[in-house]
Structure formats: structure tokens, C-alpha cells
Amino acid sequence: MDTFTLLDPTTKLIPQDKLNSETVTYWRHLVKYVHEQVQKGVAEAEPFLEKILPELSDFCGYVRKYFSEITTAREQMTEEEKLENDEESESSFIGLSLLEITAFFDLSEEVNL
């Protein structure tokens, strides 16, 4: 956990310029593992989960911004560029991974909004 230093300590989000398929995969698996430990009743896991999982509203804004940026970039590409662009599959992978992280949020707090 201490070796994953890519998260901003304030927002608990990976800065956009460091977000790639490797960093999001590590983050997703780390969140999944720690969440599983919490579910098993490992008391030490809860504080770690709080360190690596951002506030839900911040995370939703982060995901919205990510999808907005890749949509804008894609709209500016020609059809030929879209066919030759390997970044599109990486962008899709990153987006899917971000959406998979949402499964580990406690939504009970947000229901009261």
C-alpha cells in the first residue's frame, strides 16, 4: 500500500497526467483486495481503504471529466486517425476500470442526499 504513491493525498485520485492502463489496473486491484479484506473482517483494512478510495462525489466528477476529455479528443479525430489510433482501446480500458472501482463505494451514505 505504501508503495502506491500515485494517489494525490488530498483527493485520493490519480492525477490525469499519470492515469494510464497500468496505474488504473493497480489502483483497481488494490481497492478490490483491501475491500475484500474489510469484508472478511480484517480490522486493519478499513483505514487503508479510506486512504485509497476517494469521496464518491469527487470520483464521479473525475470519471465524468475523463470521459468528457476522451470523447472530445475522439470527436476531433478523422476516421483514418480513429482506425490507426491504439490509444482508443487504452482509453476504453481505463474508462471501464474506473467504472469497476465504483463497485467498492459505500452508497448508503449517498442515498440520503
CB distance 82 to 43 below 8 Å: no
pLDDT > 70? residue 54: yes
**Does residue 53 lie within any of the structural domains?**
yes
* 2 is a domain residue: no
Q: Give the number of domains in the chain.
A: 1
Full residue range of the structural domain in which residue 94 is found:
16-104
Cell of 54: 476517494
Give the pLDDT mean for 1-30: 89
Q: Per-residue confidence at 111, pLDDT binned at 50, 70, 90?
A: low
Look at residue 42 and tell me if it is in a domain.
yes
pLDDT the model gives residue 11: 94
pLDDT over 80 (residue 55): yes
- Geometric angle at alpha carbon 88, from 91 and 84, rounded to 5°: 160
User: Which of 72, 55, 67 shows the shortest CA–CA distance to 92?
Assistant: 67
Whether 9 maps to a domain, the answer reads no
Q: Which residue, 74, 94, 97, is CA-closest to 20? A: 94
Q: What is the pLDDT of residue 71?
A: 87
pTM over 0.95: no
Give me the DSSP letters along 25-58.
HHHHHHHHHHHHHHHTT-TTHHHHHHHHS--HHH
Please report whether residue 10 resides in a domain.
no
Determine the pLDDT at residue 39: 95
In a domain, 26, yes or no: yes
Query: Under a CB-based contact definition with an 8 Å cutoff, are residues 89 and 20 in contact?
Result: no
